[in-house]
Amino acid sequence: AAQLARFAAIGAMSTVGHLLLYAALSPALGAQAANALALLLCALANTAANRRLTFGHRGRGSALRHHGKGLVVFLIGLALTSGSLAALHHAAPSATHATDLAVLLAANLTATVLRFLLLRAWVFRA
């Protein structure tokens, strides 16, 4: 239960960070590039925080392997969020920025559940 609570707190902070970075970057970079950059930055921080706080891995041992697997998990999240934005912009080309954020929030919540399962079962497996 404590592991799940730590993961949820880190996930919530990552989701908020992703949405804030997306909102700041999208006017200059466009939706897809802003999403990718914001998600990458948050995924790196998320993996590092979960590695230490949720799964108890400290030091450099296995850090490169953990972050490499974390990048694979990131790509799954990127596919979900980018695919959701692409579907939204195809279905509603004039969707508002607020609608983008709502779609990203829903996609990010789905990605977070998958992320937890993959981190626990594959990336940080005992």
Answer for the pair 11, 112: CB distance below 8 angstroms, yes or no: yes
What global pTM score does this model have? 0.89
Angle at CA of residue 36, ends 32 and 42, nearest 5°: 145
**Joined tokens for residue 2:** 């404590």
Answer for the pair 85, 30: CB distance below 8 angstroms, yes or no: no
pLDDT (0 to 100) of residue 126: 67
pLDDT (0 to 100) of residue 124: 86
- The label of the residue with tokens 């996609």 reads 107
Answer for the pair 11, 53: CB distance below 8 angstroms, yes or no: no
pLDDT (0 to 100) of residue 60: 82
What's the domain range around 111? 2-123
Q: How many domains does the chain have?
A: 1
Q: Which residues of the chain have pLDDT under 70?
A: 126
pLDDT (0 to 100) of residue 114: 93
